[in-house]
Amino acid sequence: MSVPQAFYDYIDSHESQFIQRLADAVAIPSVSADAEHRKDVIAMGKYLQKQLQDLGVEVRMADVGRQVVDGQDLPLPPVILGKFGSDPKKKTVQLYAHYDVQPALLSDGWNTDPFKLTHDGQTGRLYGRGASDDKGPLLGWLNVLEAHVKGGLELPVNLRFCFEGMEESGSEGLDELIESEVGPGKFFEGVDCVCISDNYWLNDRTPCITYGLRGITYYKLTVSGPGRDLHSGVFGNMVHEPLVDLVHLMAKLISPQGEILVPGIAELVAPLTEEERKRYDKLDYSVQDVESAVGAAVARSDDKSELLMGRMRYPSLSLHGIEGAFSAPGAKTVIPACVHGKFSLRLVPNLTPENVDGLVIKYLKDEFAKLDSKNTLNVESLHGGKPWIADPNHWNYVAAIKATETIYKVSPDLTREGGSIPVTLTFAETLGVNVLLLPMGRGDDGAHSTNEKLDKSNYIQGTKLLGTYLYEVAANAT
Ligand SMILES: C[C@H](N)C(=O)N[C@@H](Cc1c[nH]cn1)C(=O)O
Ligand SMILES: [Zn+2]
Ligand SMILES: [Zn+2]
């Protein structure tokens, strides 16, 4: 079945309604990391439930339990499981996306309200938290479905939806749900392949298809000592200061040149072959791309392949922040009594949270002992996920490559992504099918950053790409 022109015409003639759909979704501040916003994440789930039901999807809102965050007992947002079509002659495509977003405050440096979609008519950019990660791509699937249902077109495949509200905070409860729904008569029965749209092109011009992700392991270090915050003029130079200990420890994790200082990690990384290195040389990327995406000339190397390997095939360690330290404007002369340092490691084959956590925790404890401090240290691993790599020669990838060529008239780059989507490996291992990442947005979208955006053309062409991919699955699957 070839793609009907009526599908593309429907998308073009409903552009403004689709942008409004994105605006409605961005307006719900579904920040999973913030207990105060948990009700908004749940509201976002209900909004999607109604949208899907209105389009004829059989929806189940799966309860995945509760979670304790900083002493608060909170409900986890539901995982939305949806079914559309059960024709045994058609392939069944499992779609995954997430409806939660990263935190965003105007005061972080946004030029516009992060939860009000702002269309810059000159550049065609749609600014708002979640526009690219991951509300735009999620709604792309609804747009595709609407074009078929309301346009009177038959979908070439059966669809299964799995939309979660905790991806940015460790995907709590999702693995267990998936594992419990595999088998005869269960939700995932009959799935032939998985498609996830939750990543980005390498640059701002060449589409890509992604066959690998890094894993992650995220830590919280707590240093405490005094029973309360202290006056630095009264107690400075009299007591061991928790923030001094913490800053010393965090500086022991990584060098300014990016070298991970935890012993044993580098030795675990799969060795680079000459053949693999050539793959990075071929990708359409430059130092200029990284510098324009980050907004400054701060690239660590002037060799594009070194930069790409740093993101795709080597681990990285990033320091994220310190909770409990004085951070307001002004000059408060305080010695904070208890501080929490946050950092994470991105994992590549053969690193897993299981074989890395022990190395990190032992190293931090040994380094803390060397400080000879009377404060106490606690190290916690908050969440983790393994790295994932798929077979890019599978028909699922052939379908995505053909669809990209149809929409963008170029061959996509085949990439590995530096970010993490822990459920990817769970789908691959528990369903035993090929998993594909088909991005909608560009490398300069600013996911997780200030002024996140999705180009209108990527939203509209991306919606066409997702739909075209379904037709190519129907044509290429074996
Ligand atoms: C790649 C995906 N769009 C994404 O942003 N994933 C997050 C997942 C995560 C893990 N811990 C917190 N968030 C990421 O890679 O940071
Ligand atoms: Zn994200
Ligand atoms: Zn995402």
The model carries a pTM of 0.94
Q: Which of 100, 146, 413, 455 is catalytic?
A: 100
Provide residues with CB under 6 Å of ligand 1: 133-134, 167-168, 198-199, 216, 218, 419-421, 447
C-alpha to C-alpha distance for 108 and 99, rounded to whole angstroms: 22
Q: Which CATH architecture group holds 5-214+387-476?
A: 3-Layer(aba) Sandwich (3.40)
Residue 286 half-sphere exposure toward CB, CA atoms < 13 A: 6
The dihedral of CA 347, 350, 354, 355: what is its sign? negative
Distance from residue 316's CA to the centre of ligand 1 (Å): 14
For the segment 5-44, what is each residue's pLDDT rounded down to a tens digit? 999 999 999 999 999 999 999 999 999 999 999 999 999 9
Pocket mutation for ligand 1, best pick of 135, 168, 383 (most atoms within 8 Å of C-beta): 168
pLDDT at 159: 98
User: To the nearest 10°, the Cα dihedral for 169, 217, 425, 68?
Assistant: -40
What's the rounded mean pLDDT across residues 410-420?
Answer: 96
Residues, Cβ < 5 Å to ion ligand 2: 133
C-alpha to C-alpha distance for 93 and 146, rounded to whole angstroms: 17
Distance from residue 94's CA to the centre of ligand 1 (Å): 20
Span(s) in the chain for CATH 3.30.70.360? 215-269+314-385
pLDDT at 349: 95
pLDDT at residue 419 is higher than 90: yes
Write b or e for each residue in 70-100: b if 16 or more Cβ atoms lie within 10 A of its Cβ, otherwise e: eeeebebbbbbbbbbbeeeebbbbbbbbbbb
pLDDT at 49: 98
C-alpha to C-alpha distance for 265 and 254, rounded to whole angstroms: 12
C-alpha to C-alpha distance for 183 and 187, rounded to whole angstroms: 8
Composition of the chain by helix, strand, coil, percent to 5: 40, 25, 40
C-alpha to C-alpha distance for 138 and 167, rounded to whole angstroms: 13
**CA of 419, closest atom in ligand 1:** 15
For the segment 70-83, what is each residue's pLDDT rounded down to a tens digit? 789 999 999 999 99
For the segment 105-115, what is each residue's pLDDT rounded down to a tens digit? 999 999 999 99
CATH code, 215-269+314-385: 3.30.70.360
pLDDT at 472: 98
**CA of 420, closest atom in ligand 1:** 15
pLDDT averaged over every residue in the chain: 97
Contact 22, 136 (CB under 8 A): yes
100 is catalytic: yes
For the segment 290-303, what is each residue's pLDDT rounded down to a tens digit? 999 999 999 999 99
Distance from residue 216's CA to the centre of ligand 1 (Å): 9
Distance from residue 332's CA to the centre of ligand 1 (Å): 34
pLDDT at 1: 79
What's the rounded mean pLDDT across residues 126-145?
Answer: 98
Pocket mutation for ligand 1, best pick of 69, 316, 421, 437 (most atoms within 8 Å of C-beta): 421
For the segment 445-462, what is each residue's pLDDT rounded down to a tens digit? 999 999 999 999 999 999
267 is catalytic: no
Contact 5, 19 (CB under 8 A): no
**CA of 417, closest atom in ligand 1:** 1
Long-range contacts of 243-249, Cβ-Cβ distance < 8 Å, separation of 24 or more: 243/322, 243/325, 243/335, 243/336, 243/339, 245/368, 245/371, 245/373, 245/375, 245/377, 246/221, 246/322, 246/339, 246/341, 248/367, 248/371, 249/221, 249/223, 249/341, 249/364, 249/367, 249/368, 249/371, 249/377
Closest C-alpha residue for ligand 1 atom 5: 419
**CA of 167, closest atom in ligand 1:** 8
Contacts for 398 with CB less than 8 Å, ≥ 6 apart: 472, 476
Distance from residue 167's CA to the centre of ligand 1 (Å): 7
pLDDT at 271: 94
Note the ipTM here: 0.97
pLDDT at 69: 83
Q: What is the amino acid identity at position 184?
A: P
For the segment 262-316, what is each residue's pLDDT rounded down to a tens digit? 999 999 999 999 999 999 999 999 999 999 999 999 999 999 999 999 999 999 9
Span(s) in the chain for CATH 3.40.630.10? 5-214+387-476
C-alpha to C-alpha distance for 328 and 424, rounded to whole angstroms: 39
Closest C-alpha residue for ligand 1 atom 1: 419
For the segment 146-165, what is each residue's pLDDT rounded down to a tens digit? 999 999 999 999 999 999 99
Measured from the Cβ of residue 170, the count of other Cβ atoms closer than 10 Å reads 18
Distance from residue 236's CA to the centre of ligand 3 (Å): 44
Residues, Cβ < 5 Å to ion ligand 3: 133-134, 198
Pocket mutation for ligand 1, best pick of 100, 101, 167 (most atoms within 8 Å of C-beta): 167
What's the rounded mean pLDDT across residues 359-375?
Answer: 98
Binding residues for Mn(2+): 98, 133, 168, 198, 448
Q: How far is CA 352 from CA 128, 214, 224, in A?
A: 33, 10, 29
| High-pLDDT (> 90) share of the chain, % | 99
Residue 207, SS3 per DSSP: coil
Q: Which of 167, 181, 367, 455 is catalytic?
A: 167
